[in-house]
Amino acid sequence: MAFLPDESRSLPPPPLLNKGSVWLGFVGWITAMLDNTFNQRPVLRAGVHRQILFTTVGWFVGYYLAKRTDYFYAKMDRELLEYVRHHPEDFKVAG
């Protein structure tokens, strides 16, 4: 996948129904509605194929961004835990 390194393949995929996919799918649908409005076409009935296309594109972009975010946070966690493992004197157990 573009813009994701090969090590991101070891992560589990995000769920298909996630916040980013739903939100950007909705934004895509609203964009198609606004396009119909600005071009003085019937808002819901005109360009149904465009509505489906924009919603689908928004959904996939949201899914990809969720995947990228998961990779980013996993990488950050890995680096933090590696630092803690190499510097145990900085992280003493209280007690």
Residue 6 lies in a domain: no
In a domain, 92, yes or no: no
User: Which ranges constitute the DSSP H helices of the chain?
Assistant: 19-38, 48-86
Q: What is the pTM of this model?
A: 0.82
Q: Is the pLDDT of residue 1 over 60?
A: no
Question: What is the extent of the structural domain holding 56?
Answer: 15-85
For 12-36, the pLDDT digits (tens) are 999 999 999 999 999 999 999 999 9
Report the pLDDT value the prediction gives residue 2, as an integer from 0 to 100: 66
Contacts of residue 5, defined as CB under 8 A and 6 or more positions apart, other chains included, come to: 71
Domains identified in the chain, total number: 1
Classify 17 in phi/psi space as left (phi over 0), alpha (psi -120 to 50) or beta: beta
Q: Domain for residue 93, yes or no?
A: no
Confidence (pLDDT) at 80: 95
Instruction: Read off the pLDDT band of 75 (50, 70, 90).
Output: very high
